[in-house]
Amino acid sequence: MVDSALLVEFNNMALMQSWRWYGPNDIVSLSDIEQSGAYGIVHALHHVPVGEVWTVEEIQKRQRIIEWNEETQQPRNLKWAVVESLNVHEAIKKGLPERDQLIEDYKTSLQNLAKCGIKIVCYNFMPVLDWTRTDLTFTYKDGSKALRYDAIALAAFDIHILEREDAKADYTEDRQIEASSYFNCITDEEKALLTKNILQGVPGSGDVFTIEDYKKQLAEYDHISEEILRENLSYFLRSVVPTAEELGMKLCCHPDDPPTAIFGLPRIVSTETDLLALTQTIDSPANGITYCTGSLGPLPENDLPGIIERLGHKIHFVHLRNVQREGNGSFHEADHLNGSVDMYAVMKALVLESQRRKSEGRDDFEIPFRPDHGHQMLDDLNKKVTFHGYSAIGRLRGLAELRGLELGITHNINS
């Protein structure tokens, strides 16, 4: 006989089970997502160029696709819950004169999203590239494929393939030797693949930078220090957060991935100190963070459960995945419940944060989370990958494990 108390807990879980969907070209369909048990869709209008206004018409078109099944002529048990990402234009990050108009357009997009009932918006302030990996098909110990960041391979690319000016100055002598050895041992085909893996553009765009384009992009950041980038972020937040607050929206900045400086680019959202500075730039319920265990996890000094305990009231959106640190700055993405991240402690802290919000009468106690990335495994190994890290079965496994972990913790806390 099913325990009715457990059923009540399952239907009133602390976290909103969500899933990132890349749109009509995603091989993981909305019907697939419904079968996963997730009901919050994490999505963006990837076809709209960065900097252009998201119109109400375009937002509603995509909402209808998400929420209505044309084949069955029935509503889906899905809703567009989180925008990931309403990307910040590079001109805003660089503080160029045109940033003011771009910020006004960004605010218009926020207003249009609010009109459509979408109130959580994730963004990042990473210069040029989004998340960076050196290997998109790393063979995990069980034979599945995972994402990996090899710090030595990245240095080899930076020094010997990209040939960035003064690149060597960013690495220790030992790392330079390791990078040279790595470069001399790989084939031309492996060098080409490494280049392609690193120069992936914004997720969902399908773009890959050329070496020449990337060098030009990097050169435009030559004069931008961490202090300048941080001030440009502050300028952006001081402009958009009041609008978001008026609209009842939640903005949440995603941490840097990896949380270390690469290619001489400044990193300003990598540690708890960074997150605290960001949230204190303008004290508003609309100014928060996307809590990502996979981005914060590679740094051993990041106390992941402690960040929730201290900054949980500023967490508007959650990414849960695990990483296995390899000891030299490298890491690979492990199973969701196995790796360097104590996922039990993280989940317990999130459940307690949700319960605290509920006791305070906050209406945002159901914190949306998604199983971030997932191994390519089982039948998905035979399918063409559309977006690396976002195959169906690996994320389904992650969601099932995280859902069970949450339910068990909730039951223990309430018993």
Torsion of CA 47, 50, 52, 54, to 10 degrees: 60
Q: Is the pLDDT of residue 169 over 60?
A: yes
pLDDT at 208: 75
Average pLDDT for residues 45-59, to the nearest whole number? 97
Q: Is the pLDDT of residue 236 over 50?
A: yes
pLDDT at 202: 55
pLDDT at 48: 96
Distance between CA 74 and CA 52 in Å, rounded? 33
Taking the alpha carbons at both ends of the chain, their separation in whole angstroms is 19
Give the catalytic positions in this structure.
254, 292, 319, 372-373, 390
Cβ atoms of 257 and 292 closer than 8 Å: yes
Residue 301 DSSP SS3: coil
Average pLDDT for residues 182-188, to the nearest whole number? 98
Which residues are paired to 15 by β-bridges? 367
Any idea which residue has 């009715």 for tokens? 4
Please state, in angstroms and as integers, the Cα–Cα distance from residue 213 to each residue in 159, 206, 390, following that order. 17, 16, 27
Q: Which of 196-200, 322-326, 366-370, 403-407 has the lowest mean pLDDT?
A: 196-200
Q: What is the pTM of this model?
A: 0.95
Per-residue confidence band for 206, with pLDDT thresholds at 50, 70 and 90: low
Q: Is the pLDDT of residue 230 over 80?
A: yes
- List b or e across 188-205, with b for residues whose CB sees 16 or more CB atoms inside 10 angstroms: eeeeebbbebbbbebbbe
Q: Is the pLDDT of residue 2 over 60?
A: no
Mean per-residue pLDDT of the chain:
94
Q: Is the pLDDT of residue 149 over 50?
A: yes
Q: Is the pLDDT of residue 204 over 70?
A: no
Cβ atoms of 309 and 165 closer than 8 Å: no
Any idea which residue has 């509920």 for tokens? 358
How crowded is residue 327: how many other Cβ atoms within 10 Å of its Cβ?
A: 8
Listed in sequence order, the DSSP H helices in 186-313 are: 188-198, 211-219, 226-247, 272-281, 293-296, 304-311
DSSP secondary structure letter of residue 160: I
Question: Residue 41 is inside which H or E element, if any?
Answer: strand 40-43
Q: Is the pLDDT of residue 8 over 60?
A: no
pLDDT at 415: 84
Per-residue confidence band for 382, with pLDDT thresholds at 50, 70 and 90: very high
Q: Is the pLDDT of residue 1 over 60?
A: no
Q: Which residues have CB under 8 Å from 160's CB, separation 6+?
A: 179, 180, 183
